[in-house]
Structure formats: structure tokens, C-alpha cells
Amino acid sequence: MSVYKKLAKARVMLQSIEMTKSGNNKFAGYKYFELGDFMPHINKIFDEIGLCGYVSFYKEEAILQIVDVDAPETNSIIITSPMAEAQLKGCHPVQNLGAVETYQRRYLWVTALEIVEHDALDSSEPVKQIDLTDFESALESATDLKNLMDIWGTIPKEHHKQLKAKAAEVKARLEKQ
């Protein structure tokens, strides 16, 4: 069986498994698949049908190579993604690197196995508009400066300008405590 046929079979096998999204973006109001939600299933399926996948990171791109273990020299599929940077607030450079690698792994596997989400456009419910008062309330709930920085890091950058004054106000209050 070719590596393409094995991958097609792996996709069908994975899609027959009901998976739960454990990732939760509480500010934007959606759930998403984390690596731990699907990788155990993929590893089991790949072991069963004779595939092995591994991810490599380079300066310009991340690569997922899926290899047919019965013919590794001649039978593989390569999936690539351009590299990007992460700028998580309050994190060291190595933590940002880890975030990039985790995101890249997740997106490469999602692409390879055709892991799909429900289309928001096809949903019968209206798309929820982001209300800045939710972000303001989150900032107000900060218990110390580190917690404030963590909360700030979860707010989408496009809202930072509008929320800068609120964050400064909360920061000043916390510094007085």
C-alpha cells in the first residue's frame, strides 16, 4: 500500500473517532483542538497502519514528514509551513520559541490529517462580537502585576490601543497595594 493510501486510511480512521476540544480561548469565546486531543489517536493509527511522522524546525519553515515504515527511503509525504514568531507577554525568548514550535506542530498535523472544525459561517448562530468590556473586566480582576501581564498577553493585539489606559489604571492600583 502506498504512503498516500495509508495516509488516506489514517484520515478516515481518525475522523471516525469522536474527539473533544480541550483548548479554550475564553476571551474570543471558542474552543480548539490541542495536540493532546488528537496526537494519541494519530500515534495509535500510524502504528497500526505503518506510518511514522516527525516534525523538524528550520529558520524559514517547519516540516512534517510522514514516512511509510515499510519503505522509508522511497515512500514519504512532506508538509511544510512557513515559520513565524510568537511574542507572548512576560515570556522569555525560549518560551516564545516553544510556543512557535507547539503551534507549528499542531497546524502541520491538522493539515496532514485534515482535522476540521465546524465552519462558523455555516453555523445557524450569529457570530459573537468581541465586547471590550469583557477585556476591561478581566484586567480589573488582576490580583498582582504578574497576573495583570498574563491577562494582557491573552488580549488580541488589535485591542491593546483601546485598553492601554485601563491596563495602566489597574497597574497603578496594584503598585500601591
Output 169-177 pairs: Cβ under 8 A, ≥24 positions apart.
Answer: 170/139, 170/140, 170/142, 171/145, 174/142, 174/144, 174/145, 174/148, 175/145
Q: Is 17 helix (H, G, I), strand (E, B) or coil?
A: coil
Q: Which CATH class is domain 3-122?
A: alpha beta
Provide the residue ranges of all domains of the chain, joining segments of one domain with +: 3-122, 132-176
Number of Cβ within 10 Å of residue 104's Cβ equals 20
**pTM higher than 0.85, yes or no?**
no
Q: How far from 118 is each of 21, 33, 121, 122, CA to CA, in Å? A: 12, 12, 9, 8
Cα separation, 17 vs 79, whole angstroms: 23
Question: What is the full per-residue pLDDT of the chain (177 aa) written as tens digits?
Answer: 889 999 999 999 999 999 999 988 777 777 888 999 999 999 999 999 999 999 999 999 999 999 999 887 778 999 999 998 888 778 888 988 888 899 999 999 999 999 986 544 444 454 455 567 778 888 888 888 888 888 888 888 888 888 888 889 888 888 888
Helix (H) / strand (E) element for 23: namely strand 23-25
